Structure 1
Amino acid sequence: MLHEILSFVINTVTGLLAGFLLLRFWMQVQRVRPPVALAQAIFQLTDWIVHPIRRIVPGFRGYDWASLIAVFLAAFLSMALDFWLFSRLPFVAIAVMSLFRVIQWIVYGLMALLILEAIFSWVNPHAPFAPFIRALNEPVLLPLRKILPPFGGLDFSPMVALILLQVMNRVMASLQDEVLSKVVFFS
């Protein structure tokens, strides 16, 4: 019981930190300026880990690699505390699980952005955050909109994107189990 509670707290804290770090990275990739209050919150919550890493790994081609490295470190810390302390998994297995956790966080983040865009489109398409969310979702939805045009004025691309992301998440989960069993077996 204590292990489950501790694991939940660790996963929640590292997941929130990773979410802000991934949002920071994605905003810079998309060259999207968030509303000022959100930008201040994101940078205040993540600067403490990004700036030291940036001294070692500077940005390259306009991408903030320090944010992605920080995401991996958060995943690694989460996995190490959860599995190494209690299950004594080998270091390589924890690193592999961390990589899969980062991919899972990316998929969940994209799903959350799609759901937020759908809510804004139904409730208040002119809300201050709506253009920001729409700009972050554009690279995911644009290829789908080219294949699947609106039917009767309804855009089904967010729903198709959510389904594809769910499929990707399930494929990654089964791949993780397969890879992890091989890594643990050979360790």
Structure 2
Amino acid sequence: MFYEMLNFVVETVTGIYAGFLLLRFWMQALKIRPPSALGQAIFQLTDRVVLPLRRLVPGFWGLDWASLIAAYLVAMLVYLFASLWTGQFYFPMVLVLALYRLLQWIIYGLMALIIIEAILSFVNPHAPLAPIIRALNQPLLSPLRRLIPAVGGIDFSPLVALFLLQVVNRLLAVAFPQLIYYTM
């Protein structure tokens, strides 16, 4: 019982922190400058981990790889903690599970951004965060918007994007157990 509660707390805290790291990566990849308070908060929360990593892993192709690698390292720490706690430590499996968790965080983050944009479009389309959320979703939704026209003024591309992200998530859930099997 204690392990489950501790594991829940660790996974929640690390998931939120990794979400900030991934949001930092995505904002820098899209060259989005959020409002000063939001941007400062995200960068201040993640600078402690990203800046030392940036000395080892410089950004190239216009991407901040240190943020992405930091998110992967956070996922590795979660699984290292869990494997050491349970006494079932096998490093290749930790690497694969951390990659799976990172991909899950990316998918859930994209889904959250799409849901937030959909809610904001109904509740308050002129909210200060709406343009930033729209810009973060643009690379994912604009190809779908070209394929799926709005029907009666309703944009169904977020719904299709959520469906496709769920499909990718399910495919990963099927593929990764087999990959873990081959690492053992």
TM-score (norm 2): 0.97
SS of the residue 2:71 aligns to: helix
Contact 1:84 1:94 in 2 (8 A): no
Structure 1 residue 158 and structure 2 residue 158: aligned? yes
What is residue 139 of structure 1 aligned with on the other side? Answer: 139
- Structure-1 separation of matches of 2:33 and 2:119: 21
Q: How much has 1:140 moved relative to structure 2?
A: 0.3
Contact 1:75 1:98 in 2 (8 A): yes
Which amino acid is the alignment partner of residue 167 of structure 1? V
Which amino acid is the alignment partner of residue 88 of structure 2? R
| Runs of 4+ with deviation above 3 angstroms | none
Percent of matched pairs sharing the same residue: 57
Q: How much has 1:84 moved relative to structure 2?
A: 3.5
- Structure-1 separation of matches of 2:2 and 2:174: 28
After superposition, what is the alpha-carbon deviation per residue over 1:30-49, rounded to whole angstroms, capped at 9, x for unaligned? Answer: 11111111101101110000
RMSD: 0.9
What is residue 128 of structure 2 aligned with on the other side? Answer: 128
Paired residues in the alignment total: 184
SS of the residue 1:47 aligns to: helix
Unmatched segments (≥5 aa) in structure 2: none
Structure 1 residue 108 and structure 2 residue 108: aligned? yes
- Structure-2 separation of matches of 1:83 and 1:165: 29
Which amino acid is the alignment partner of residue 72 of structure 1? Y
Greater shift after overlay, 77-86 or 51-60?
A: 77-86
- Structure-2 separation of matches of 1:42 and 1:138: 20
What is residue 119 of structure 2 aligned with on the other side? Answer: 119
SS of the residue 2:84 aligns to: helix
SS of the residue 1:89 aligns to: coil
Unmatched segments (≥5 aa) in structure 1: none
What is residue 86 of structure 1 aligned with on the other side? Answer: 86
What is residue 3 of structure 1 aligned with on the other side? Answer: 3
* Cα separation, partners in 2 of 1:80 and 1:37, compared to 1, 3 Å: same
TM-score (norm 1): 0.95
After superposition, what is the alpha-carbon deviation per residue over 1:147-179, rounded to whole angstroms, capped at 9, x for unaligned? Answer: 111111110000000011111111101111121
Which amino acid is the alignment partner of residue 137 of structure 1? N
Which amino acid is the alignment partner of residue 86 of structure 2? F
Structure 1 residue 26 and structure 2 residue 47: aligned? no
